[in-house]
């Protein structure tokens, strides 16, 4: 049985990371328009200006433990508690595993895994004190089914899935812990990943990997991508439920995740085939 919430539905507080654009910004707006008190945060506070009329805003670097603790303390002090944490902040490293440096991989994990861990550690005492709350980790289809060229990003999302599962078991039934798993979403993710790629020393041995990303829809998803508002709706649904599901797949993730039940050899061939088909269709102007 799920613990009773501290506040009624029209008097809840949520802290959301990565609100400068995309899923985070859409999520902040969805919560605010449903009457939640929203603390929208981002590494780049200047990007939060469009949310200032609807939300409280704050700079937050999820790799800075002191800043994570300070923002959580601010929310708890001003609102008397915190009902929901949405760990959304992130970016993607594009590159074959053999080309991505250890430092780039470490930075990727620091944002996508250690960041949510820092914030979970900061909010858990507050939620225990108020006898309830919800932690929502925005993971990814790539946290369950990865693809060539996205191995470091995918491995970080796999780790976040594991962290989410363990935390859910450890804190139930008092605190709900949920994974929201988008497939491709129409955001700036692909542009940011390509910018990260500029720092990669691409090896010719992985030319086929990079061809998939240079000319195909592996990063942006093409017509399979959904709007960030669709992801935001699922996040709000999970936060508003008295008994949320453990996972909320969004868009293509609802069916592509079933690839993982195939034998590994078929999975590998299937993922390459999907990428090559998408590349060819885009070359023909059909995507």
Q: Say how far residue 79 (Cα) sits from the centre of its chain.
A: 25
Round to whole Å and give the CA distance between 207 and 148.
11
274, part of any domain = no
Q: How many domains does the chain have?
A: 1
Count of other CB atoms within 10 angstroms of residue 166: 11
231, part of any domain = yes
Residue with tokens 């050899």: 265
Round to whole Å and give the CA distance between 72 and 186.
29
What is the predicted pLDDT for the residue at 82?
97
163, part of any domain = yes
**Would you name the residues annotated as active-site residues?**
153
For 226, the domain range is 9-205+221-261
Residue 231 confidence (pLDDT) above 60: yes
**For 40-44, 168-172, 263-267, which range has the lowest pLDDT when averaged over its residues?**
263-267
Residue 194 confidence (pLDDT) above 90: no
What is the predicted pLDDT for the residue at 8?
55
152, part of any domain = yes
**For 107-111, 184-188, 193-197, 267-271, which range has the lowest pLDDT when averaged over its residues?**
193-197
* Rounded average pLDDT over 107-126: 98
The dihedral over CA atoms of 272, 276, 277, 283, expressed in degrees to the nearest 10, equals 170
275, part of any domain = no
106, part of any domain = yes
140, part of any domain = yes
Phi, psi dihedral angles at 273 (to 5 degrees): -65, -40
Residue 78: CATH number of its domain: 3.40.50.720
Read off the pLDDT band of 192 (50, 70, 90): confident
Q: Say how far residue 148 (Cα) sits from the centre of its chain.
A: 20
151, part of any domain = yes
Greatest alpha-carbon span in the chain: 58
């Amino acid at each position: 049985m799920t613990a009773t919430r501290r506040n009624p539905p029209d008097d809840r507080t949520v802290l959301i990371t990565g609100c400068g654009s995309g899923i985070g910004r859409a999520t902040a707006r969805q919560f605010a328009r449903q009457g939640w008190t929203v603390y929208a945060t981002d590494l780049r506070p200047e990007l939060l200006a469009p949310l200032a009329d609807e939300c409280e805003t704050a700079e937050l670097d999820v790799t800075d433990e002191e800043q994570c603790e300070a923002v959580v303390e601010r929310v708890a002090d001003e609102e008397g508690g915190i009902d929901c944490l949405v760990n959304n902040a992130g970016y993607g490293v594009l590159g074959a595993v053999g080309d991505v440096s250890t430092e780039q991989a470490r930075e990727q994990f620091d944002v996508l895994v250690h960041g949510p861990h820092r914030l979970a550690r900061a909010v858990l005492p507050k939620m225990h004190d108020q006898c309830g709350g919800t932690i929502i980790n925005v993971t990814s289809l790539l946290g369950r089914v990865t693809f060539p060229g996205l191995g470091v990003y995918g491995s970080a999302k796999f780790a976040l899935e594991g962290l989410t599962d363990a935390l859910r078991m450890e804190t139930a039934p008092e605190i709900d812990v949920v994974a929201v798993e988008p497939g491709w979403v129409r955001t700036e993710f692909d542009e940011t990943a390509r910018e990260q790629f500029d720092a990669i020393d691409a090896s010719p041995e992985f030319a086929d990997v990079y061809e998939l990303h240079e000319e195909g829809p592996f990063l942006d998803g093409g017509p399979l991508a959904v709007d960030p508002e669709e992801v935001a709706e699922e996040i709000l649904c999970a936060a508003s439920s008295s008994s949320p599901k453990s996972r909320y797949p969004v868009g293509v993730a609802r069916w592509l995740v079933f690839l993982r039940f195939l034998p590994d050899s078929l999975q590998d061939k299937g993922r390459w085939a999907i990428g090559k088909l998408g590349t060819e269709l885009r070359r023909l102007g059909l995507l």
